[in-house]
Amino acid sequence: MAKEKKSALKEGKGVSVSEITNLSRIKTIKEKRKSKINTEALVASILNKNITALSRAITLVESKNLTHLEQANTIIKACLPHANKSIRIGITGVPGVGKSTFIETLGKHLTSKGKRIAILAIDPSSTLTKGSILGDKTRMEDLVKDANAYIRPSASGDSLGGVARKTRETIILCEAAGFDVIIIETVGVGQSETTVHSMVDFFLLLKLAGAGDELQGIKRGIIEMADAIAINKADGDNLKRAKLAKVEFNRALHLYPEKSFNWHPKVTICSALKNEGIDAIWELILEYVAITSKNNYFYEKRNEQNKFWLIQTIEEQLKSDFFNTPKIKKELENQLQLIETNQTTPFAAADYLLKI
């Protein structure tokens, strides 16, 4: 039908004025999309707190297109001097702990204080279809209407631990756009926490009472990384269990060596649904920032994170260059076939490919 209308449009037959206008508009939109992006204008718009420009820049950052990658690097470099002025908060917890509700309630609390917040929500991608729901805006239906809040859901893709490939660069863009607080929500499936911990200032772990989590407090790993633990859904009949869980986690935290920067992780209870205890958590975060800024750990940690991301970026680029080499692509197929017929081993095949 569209082809027939295009043909009729060329001939000027059987097409109404409105249809001609619509087809022309579609053509104009497509031409704009194909046109070269003015990176200088985009950067200027980002610095002017233009959300549309910010979203477009983040799309370039997340793209795997080489041209987009070059443009994204130019934009990030221009935005970098205007970054590093926010508080970066990582929030994690098992599915069902109420991360989205908690973030929305915390977000509304912050915007009511005049803060501009950006939420980078990492959605898990299917290992089979590679698809992702990206439903965080739907779950935060009140916050999404707030002019001082920006919610950007991203698919985790094949990144380690489910953290979006370019979340680190997205943080820089959001800071350049003038956001005071950047909140990163992890997938919460076990592996993403380490990566998120390496890009935030404050790491908050959400827990549930009465879900067998109390005993997990004596284990290392995620508990050891947390700067604070908040036991969510502390309301109604669950309030008593939440208070008991708080005592258990406080006991467990005393088993860990004290951190070198004069901060001992604290445990608190809250109810995101009832908006109870959220203000206390924000005050806790501000206390942490004040203490770590005074003893310079806040800035030392960011420097260490930058070094970590340098190494990660090099590794990612080397991997990308390796697999995109035409000769490697061809030989990789051959080696895979040899493995299937038991004519070589995965280790021998890898050694062969690396020596090409």
Structural domain harbouring 252: 84-295
In the chain, the number of structural domains is 3
- Residue 175 located in a structural domain: yes
CATH label of the domain that carries residue 149: 3.40.50.300
Summarised one tens digit per residue, pLDDT across range 13-33 is: 555 656 656 666 665 555 555
Summarised one tens digit per residue, pLDDT across range 35-68 is: 567 899 999 999 999 999 999 999 998 887 888 8
- Residue 70 located in a structural domain: yes
Domain edge (last residue) among 28, 49, 77: 77
Based on the domain organization, do 64 and 186 belong to the same domain? no
Summarised one tens digit per residue, pLDDT across range 142-154 is: 898 999 999 998 7
Q: Which pLDDT band holds residue 162 (cuts at 50, 70, 90)?
A: very low
- Residue 300 located in a structural domain: no
Residue 256: predicted pLDDT: 77
Q: Which residue has the higher pLDDT, 345 or 251?
A: 345
Whether the per-residue pLDDT at 3 is higher than 80: the answer is no
Domain edge (last residue) among 31, 54, 77: 77
Based on the domain organization, do 283 and 160 belong to the same domain? yes
Based on the domain organization, do 124 and 186 belong to the same domain? yes
- Residue 56 located in a structural domain: yes
- Residue 265 located in a structural domain: yes
Return d(Cα 246, Cα 263) in angstroms, integer.
18
Based on the domain organization, do 169 and 48 belong to the same domain? no
- Any bridge partners for residue 266, and if so which? 228
Return d(Cα 322, Cα 320) in angstroms, integer.
5
- Residue 40 located in a structural domain: yes
Contacts of 326 by beta carbon, 8 Å cutoff, 6+ apart: none
Based on the domain organization, do 139 and 259 belong to the same domain? yes
Based on the domain organization, do 194 and 213 belong to the same domain? yes
Record the pTM: 0.81
Domain edge (last residue) among 37, 58, 77: 77
Whether the per-residue pLDDT at 299 is higher than 90: the answer is yes
Residue 251: predicted pLDDT: 86
The percent of residues in the chain predicted with pLDDT above 90, rounded, is 52
Q: Which residue has the higher pLDDT, 256 or 328?
A: 328
Whether the per-residue pLDDT at 165 is higher than 90: the answer is no
Based on the domain organization, do 156 and 89 belong to the same domain? yes
Return d(Cα 25, Cα 94) in angstroms, integer.
46
Based on the domain organization, do 208 and 93 belong to the same domain? yes
Based on the domain organization, do 110 and 242 belong to the same domain? yes
Summarised one tens digit per residue, pLDDT across range 253-280 is: 887 777 778 898 999 999 999 999 999 9
List, in sequence order, the alpha helices (H) in the chain. 2-11, 17-34, 39-47, 51-62, 66-79, 99-111, 136-139, 167-176, 192-197, 222-225, 239-253, 278-294, 297-323, 326-340, 346-354
Based on the domain organization, do 328 and 235 belong to the same domain? no
Ranges 156-160, 197-201, 318-322: which has the least confidence: 156-160
Based on the domain organization, do 229 and 90 belong to the same domain? yes
Sign of CA dihedral 244, 248, 251, 253: negative
For 229-240, what is the mean pLDDT?
93
Q: Which pLDDT band holds residue 217 (cuts at 50, 70, 90)?
A: very low
- Residue 301 located in a structural domain: no
Contacts of 243 by beta carbon, 8 Å cutoff, 6+ apart: 234, 269
Ranges 154-163, 187-196, 296-305, 345-354: which has the least confidence: 154-163
Based on the domain organization, do 95 and 62 belong to the same domain? no
Position of tokens 């890009």? 199
